[in-house]
Chains A and B, each alone.
Chain A
Amino acid sequence: MTTPHDAPPVVEMTGISIEFPGVKALQAVDFTLRAGEVHALMGENGAGKSTLIKALTGVYSIDSGRIVVDGQEQEFSGPGQAQSAGISTVYQEVNLCENLSVAENIMLGHEPRRAGAIDWRATRRTAGELLTRLNLNIDPASSLSAHSLAVQQLVAICRAMVVDCKVLILDEPTSSLDADEVAQLFAVMRSLRDQGVAILFVSHFLEQIYEISDRMTVLRNGQLVGEYRTADLPRLELVSKMIGTSLEVLEELEEAPKRSVAERPDTAPLVQAVGLGRKGSVQPFDLDLYEGEVVGLAGLLGSGRTELARLLAGADRADSGLTRIAGALARLRTPRAAMQHGIAFSSEHRKAEGIIGDLTVRENIILGVQADRGWARRLPRKRADEIVDRYMTALDIRPANPDALIRNLSGGNQQKVLLARWLATAPRLLLLDEPTRGIDVGAKAEIQRLVAQLAADGMSVVFISAELEEVLRLSHRIAVMRDREKIAEVTNNENVTVSDLVELIASGGQHR
């Protein structure tokens, strides 16, 4: 990019305010988006990023302020109007139709017609042209479900290009992509930027923000902190602006869950997996888990790290091998059976496999305990209140209202509620699959600290994360996964680095 300062603004939002009952979601926020730039919108969960995006895309109507798109003042009263003004959005969760072809997905609603009927040949051709424009080598006639999530995301972007798109909003597009896929996405973003599209990008990954963005706007508590050129703002300073704490405090926070390399306790393992495996999911593996120890699972997306945890949690049934718990043979055929052995599993899919959206925070917290007791023995109200109060305070769940519906909470707080649900069952082994994905820096540090604390208190923890730094910082021992196989086990110490892990993953470890 040459001088994005001089590029004409495509979107100018001035003095935007939106108020919900009891919450000032946005207060007089200004936001400018210029043609041919990648602009990152930064802020913690609840800072107002989503609200600002929804104001721009017409999902929310603004209480005051002005939105000017391409020199014309707009008053959006629905997403359709924003779209016809040239604003397209690709959300975190891909909302496409898996059972349709790539071409159908891209052109859905804009199919070329001939004599009243859809011209399928032209549909495929136009879709193919759009894919080529983004340098994507995808067969337009192939079924969408045949492609990885990353490719689906790119198809979603391609779909956004069908209408004459001036502004492309990418809300957390990278949260479930691995490094190669992110690189592919970024290539597409750069090519679009160079074609003059203004891109608004939201991500929790600071690395990615610094790699791709030209400029950023930081929000905090619904207020504008400022607009900066990415090159002028060091990371730590950005984070301090996002969470509103001084640099010193922040550095301390970063250091707090310093990796604590303890000697392995001289006891028998709590859980022992011997040749445990499942066809098509994960190759047979051996793994010993000790009390008071955090075992990290490192590996790329699809390396089998989730599948390994699911076998231990009884979420999937193993078809080979056996599990011993405290020396005794245990059959983990269902999640419930695993729970009764003191194994709790927090899935990586927070929405699909974690929260019960229409139930309250209270109900979500006590669900695990209640399920364990069975339906007939209802958790007494007083006892339930104690549990809920204790964990809402301990984990600082906000809003501090146990009767709020969990789906109205931010991602980080939903994650904390799920943690509370599992902790309330007093597990001996806690399996955490991507507990910090898609949540803000502050909540992330809190959860990391909590994991360290739980292990120090004697719990056995399995920690899965795509961020190797995080795995390295928290784990006493690291199992390295690749291609659905456990390829190595590393005892963590000061000398192990991220690049060691990457090398292990890349080289395939020492095959046994």
Chain B
Amino acid sequence: MSTQAPAPADRPGTSVGSRAPGDTRRGLTSFTQNRLFWPVAALVLLVVANTIKNPGFLGVRLQDGNLFGATINILRNGAPLLLVALGMTLVIATRGIDLSVGAVVAISGAVACSFIASSPDPTSVTTVLVAVGIALTLSFVLGVWNGFLVSVLGIQPIIATLVLMTAGRGIAMLITNGQITTVNSPPFKTIGSGFFLGLPVAILIAGGVFALVAVLTRRTALGMLIESVGINPAASRLAGVKARNIVWTVYAVAALFAGLAGLMISSNVMAADANNAGLFIELDAILAVVIGGTSLAGGKFSLSGTLVGVFVIQTLTLTVTMLGISPSVTPLFKAIVVIAVCLMQAPVVRKKLAARRRRKASEAGTDSTSARTEVAA
């Protein structure tokens, strides 16, 4: 986030919470300058492409009182990734990174499925609730471990979380005895593929968590303190911010969300696959965060950006499938979108574009108001 056009209106994360009302910049320039512009443009482009190929793409139909359709699928399949990416956004905002979320997804699913499979009454709601409780508690504890390594011992985040990333799938294998543990439990199935009030439960859970995080970070001072720690940890500490606790908390929260995602993923297939559940989800989550405009250098973060990032990745995955291309090629398309969006957000490119606009504007004899905002030092 080191571009030179940092007027408050450009701040990511403005969707929730009040921001400076005094900003008067309007018009197309400020619209395209918005950090969310290019990710949203990519998303719209994907949707349009899909609609051309398949005119019914945006259609949503009601069946047995429940909603179905391609868009609903995108939302539902994207729910676990959104959960993981939300946690990742907070971690990245503190200058960190969490590589272990995929492993936590596997562990959480393994614990829940093993508990349900070995319980005398796998179909009872109580069993499922206990299983969910155990899985989430364990995920949270794993996050506390990550946070301890990073915030107390001061180990670099990438190394600290690499420990659990490597060990985590082994732990999951131990829990499942190396087998793919299948369960048959309708209440558990509800988490991943059930419906409530016509909407998939997974969407409701992910939406609820998103709203919760948004309120917690933007309606309280948590967001500002996280950003402050991410931008300048030393200065934040001297200003009295509990930097260590904040960093510790975000890792715990990231793992908790990953655990929830793990429940969703295993519930979707009614099985715990220690090897493949949530494989590479940490990378997708990091991509979603980056596409959403949150800098890996920490500091300002955008939850709505992350949301858009998740949608872009999910829509892309679906598009590739719908076009009849082998899903194994999907990563290539992801790479293309990522590089395109990142290029459009790169300070160098933005500066070049701004310079071109300025030249055009001055040729037209008008005053460009949004180019250089840097005050003479």
Contacts and interface: CB of A to CB of B under 8 A. Distances in A.
A358 B240 contact: no
Interface in A473-496: none
Contact of B234 (A353, A373, A375): A353
B228 interface: yes
Contact of A375 (B222, B238, B375): B222
A334 to B, nearest CB: 8
Nearest to B241: A371
A50 B299 contact: no
A351 to B, nearest CB: 9
Interface stretch (A19-27, A155-163, A248-256): A19-27
Contacts of A20: 372-376
Counting chain A CB atoms within 10 Å of each CB, which of B18, B240, B369 scores highest?
B240
A133 interface: no
Interface string B341-358: 000000000000000000
Contacts of A335: 237-240
Contacts of A357: 231-232
B22 to A, nearest CB: 6
Contacts of A315: 237-238
Contacts of A360: 8, 20
Given A51-B376, A359-B228, A379-B221, A368 B240 contact: yes
A370 interface: yes
Contacts of B246: 375
A271 interface: no
Contacts of A23: 375-376
B330 interface: no
Nearest to B300: A358
B6 interface: yes
Contacts of B177: none
B239 A371 contact: yes
Interface residues of A, number: 52
Nearest to A405: B6
Interface string A368-395: 1011111111110100000000000000
A379 B18 CA distance: 13
B178 to A, nearest CB: 43
Given A20-B375, A23-B376, A315-B238, A403 B225 contact: no
Nearest to B23: A403
Interface string B311-343: 000000000000000000000000000000000
Given A46-B377, A409-B375, A359 B241 contact: no
Contacts of A224: none
A373 B221 contact: yes
Interface string B224-262: 110110011011111111100010000000000000000
Contacts of B213: none
A25 B20 contact: no
B221 A378 contact: yes
Contacts of B232: 352-353, 355-357
Nearest to A375: B222
A378 B368 CA distance: 37
Contacts of B240: 335-336, 339, 368, 371-372, 425
B239 A358 contact: no
B208 to A, nearest CB: 20
Contacts of B6: 358, 405, 408
B72 interface: no
A399 interface: yes
A501 interface: no
B371 interface: yes
B234 A352 contact: yes
A132 B232 CA distance: 40
B373 A358 contact: no
Interface in A1-59: 18, 20-21, 23, 25-26, 45-46, 48, 50-51
A347 B224 contact: no
B239 A421 contact: yes
B1 interface: yes
A347 B234 CA distance: 10
18 contacts: A20-B373, A20-B376, A21-B368, A21-B370, A21-B372, A51-B376, A315-B238, A354-B235, A356-B239, A358-B1, A359-B228, A363-B224, A367-B224, A367-B241, A375-B221, A377-B220, A399-B375, A425-B240
Interface of B: 1, 6-8, 18, 20, 22-23, 219-222, 224-225, 227-228, 231-232, 234-242, 246, 299-300, 368-377
Ranked nearest first, the 6 interchain pairs of A and B with the lowest CB-CB distance are A25-B376, A371-B240, A50-B377, A375-B222, A371-B241, A339-B240
Given A50-B376, A367-B239, 7 more contacts: A315-B237, A347-B238, A352-B235, A359-B224, A373-B221, A404-B375, A421-B239
